[in-house]
Amino acid sequence: MADEDDVMMKKIAQELRKPVPVSTSFDARVMRAVRELPRHARRRLWSRLNAPRTITVQPLGWGLLAASVALFALLGAMHASADINRVAKASANFFPKTKATTPDQRVQFVLVAPDAKKVSVVGDFNGWDAQHIEYQAQHRGGGVWSVTAQVPVGHHRYSFVVDDSLWVADPTAPRVVDNDFGVANSTMVVQEQK
Amino acid sequence: MSVVARALVALMLAAPAAVAQDARLVARLDKPTLDAVTAIVDSARAAKLPTAPLVDRALEGSAKGSDGRKIISAVKQLSVRMGSARRALGATATADEIKAAAGALDAGISANDLARLRAASGKRPVTTPLDVLTDLVGRAVPVDAATNVVVQLAKSGVKDPEFALFQRNVRADIDRGADPTVAATTRARGLVQRAGTGTKPSK
């Protein structure tokens, strides 16, 4: 009985081992179905970044790229120091080479504003920033506000800002009309102390 | 397009913008205003005009609460005025002189009058005389009278501190009710006479 069972099992196994005839388009259909399965975007990007690639190195192309990167860095550095260079070059024409760049000068700004709660100085020397800490005037009593601050040598436009809202030209300095923004400014020329 | 070619194109496109934009402008202006102001600043740089006054002008407009359209217009106008100022003052004009002359043009003083003042001043800087001239016009001295007064002072060799004192005296006279033209011409006459005799003006 057992022998008959063994023979039967072998016959079944033989039948199962026979290759099944498959249509020639089966592979293509399977692959298409796999590709259509949703995949996580980050995983896809990670796979792309991780996938090994063959890179062809062309000396001319990579040389140009390296030169461009260097030029880019140089232009950035030149721009950052353009104004400094201009001042330095101008100074070099007028002063001996041993002389350092002209230092900022201390300038006192005074405004009489008895009703003010806050007075600050704005101008092209502080980016017209009314909150600039170094240009906040102190109340000295009797309605007199003043601040002494560093200002670069040269021609400047400036104004007082009272209570963060009212722009007031310096009554003691030359005024310059402002047809664009409607509020007159003051001007001053800061000269190097000798 | 190869990787290298793509990288080169990206660098070429990015470089000019990265080089030209000022960090303070980026912080304070909206994108369309920033782009327009940057373009004007780049043009001025190419024309070898000072660019700092243009950046300052945009910052000033922003601080005064002006909208982008006004800021762009103001920066453009200043750029045009600085070009005119340099032509009037000559190629050797300093950035300070160009800046002061642009303010004078804005006040209504002509390019011809700037050239007159330049000629009258010789090699002396005209920054302070230009500021005084602009101030006089702003205090209702007619342009012709103010220009004649300041040109006369420059011809007489009046120096910057004397110009500053002259401006303060005229302002004080006007504040006390004097006619602006009379105040300016009277104070100038005294200064010219003193300059002729070599005496120092009294405060």
In chain A, residues with a C-beta closer than 8 Å to the C-beta of B15 are 71-72, 75
**In the 3-class helix/strand/coil scheme, how is B102-154 assigned residue by residue?**
HHHHHCCCCHHHHHHHHHHHCCCCCHHHHHHHHHHHHCCCCHHHHHHHHHHHH
Domain ranges (residues) in chain A:
105-190
B25 and B76 share a domain? yes
B90 and B120 share a domain? no
B132 and B83 share a domain? no
| Spatial distance between the Cα atoms of A191 and A194, rounded to a whole number of angstroms | 9
The conformation of residue B12, written as its DSSP 8-state character, comes to H
Residue B164 lies in a domain: yes
Count of domains for chain B: 2
In chain B, residues with a C-beta closer than 8 Å to the C-beta of A65 are 4, 7-8, 11
Of B152, B87, B81, whose CA–CA distance to B121 is shortest? B152
| Spatial distance between the Cα atoms of B188 and A52, rounded to a whole number of angstroms | 84
Residue of A170 and A75 predicted with greater confidence: A170
Other beta carbons within 10 angstroms of residue A61's beta carbon come to: 16
Of B114, B145, B142, B144, whose CA–CA distance to B127 is shortest? B114
Does residue B35 register a pLDDT over 90? Answer: yes
Residue B110 lies in a domain: no
Does residue A101 register a pLDDT over 70? Answer: no
Could you tell me what percent of chain A has a pLDDT over 70? 64
| Spatial distance between the Cα atoms of A183 and A185, rounded to a whole number of angstroms | 7
Helix and strand counts by DSSP (H, E) for chain B: 11, 0
| Residue A114, pLDDT score | 96
Q: How far does B79 lie from chain A, in Å, by closest CA?
A: 13
| Spatial distance between the Cα atoms of B120 and B117, rounded to a whole number of angstroms | 5
pLDDT one-digit tens code per residue, B78-96: 999 999 999 999 999 999 9
Does residue A123 register a pLDDT over 90? Answer: yes
pLDDT one-digit tens code per residue, B51-60: 999 999 999 9
Does the pTM of the predicted model rise above 0.90? no
| Residue A64, pLDDT score | 74
| Residue B20, pLDDT score | 54
Residue B43 lies in a domain: yes
Count how many Cα atoms sit within 13 Å of the Cα of residue A194 in the half-sphere of its side chain.
Answer: 2
For B156, the domain range is 116-203
| Residue A85, pLDDT score | 41
In chain B, residues with a C-beta closer than 8 Å to the C-beta of A174 are 131-132, 134-135, 167
Mean pLDDT confidence for A55-61? 66
Does residue A103 register a pLDDT over 60? Answer: yes
Contact B19 A76 (CB under 8 A): yes
* Dihedral of alpha carbons B170, B174, B175, B176, sign: positive
To test the contact with chain A by mutation, choose from B73, B135, B137 the residue with the greatest count of A C-beta atoms within 10 A, namely B135
Residue B10 — very low, low, confident or very high, per pLDDT cuts 50/70/90? low
Computed over every residue of chain B, the mean pLDDT equals 89
Q: State whether residue B67 is helix, strand or coil.
A: coil
B120 and B201 share a domain? yes
Does residue A97 register a pLDDT over 50? Answer: no
Q: Give me the interface pTM, i.e. the ipTM.
A: 0.82
Residue B15 — very low, low, confident or very high, per pLDDT cuts 50/70/90? very low
Question: Across the beta sheet with A138-141, what order do the strands follow?
Answer: A105-112, A144-151, A138-141
Nearest residue on chain A to B68, alpha-carbon basis? A181
Could you tell me what percent of chain A has a pLDDT over 90? 39
Does residue B39 register a pLDDT over 90? Answer: yes
Residue B62 — very low, low, confident or very high, per pLDDT cuts 50/70/90? very high
| Spatial distance between the Cα atoms of A81 and A78, rounded to a whole number of angstroms | 5
B49 and B85 share a domain? yes
CB-based burial label for B92 (10 Å; 0-12, 13-18, 19+): exposed
| Residue B25, pLDDT score | 94
| Residue A22, pLDDT score | 65
Lowest mean pLDDT among A78-82, A117-121, B131-135: A78-82
Residue B102 lies in a domain: no
**In the 3-class helix/strand/coil scheme, how is A24-71 assigned residue by residue?**
CCHHHHHHHHHHCCCCCHHHHHHHHHHCCCCCCCCHHHHHHHHHHHHH
B193 and B159 share a domain? yes
Domain boundary among B60, B94, B128: B94
Mean pLDDT confidence for B111-117? 97
Residue A33 — very low, low, confident or very high, per pLDDT cuts 50/70/90? confident
| Residue A98, pLDDT score | 37
Look up tokens 């302070």; give the residue.
B128
Q: Is residue A157 within 8 Å of residue A176, measured between CB atoms? A: yes
Q: How far does B135 lie from chain A, in Å, by closest CA?
A: 5
Class of domain A105-190: mainly beta
Residue B24 lies in a domain: yes
∠ CA A110-A112-A118, nearest 5°, is: 85
Does residue A62 register a pLDDT over 90? Answer: no
| Residue A67, pLDDT score | 73
pLDDT one-digit tens code per residue, A138-184: 999 999 999 999 999 999 999 999 999 999 999 999 998 888 898 88
Of B132, B143, B109, whose CA–CA distance to B188 is shortest? B132
| Residue A90, pLDDT score | 34
Residue A132 — very low, low, confident or very high, per pLDDT cuts 50/70/90? very high
Nearest residue on chain B to A128, alpha-carbon basis? B60
pLDDT one-digit tens code per residue, B140-160: 999 999 999 999 999 999 999
Alpha-carbon separation of residue B62 from A127, B14, B58, B133 (angstroms): 10, 26, 6, 28
| Spatial distance between the Cα atoms of B58 and B78, rounded to a whole number of angstroms | 10
Does residue A83 register a pLDDT over 60? Answer: no
Q: Is residue B108 within 8 Å of residue B137, measured between CB atoms? A: yes
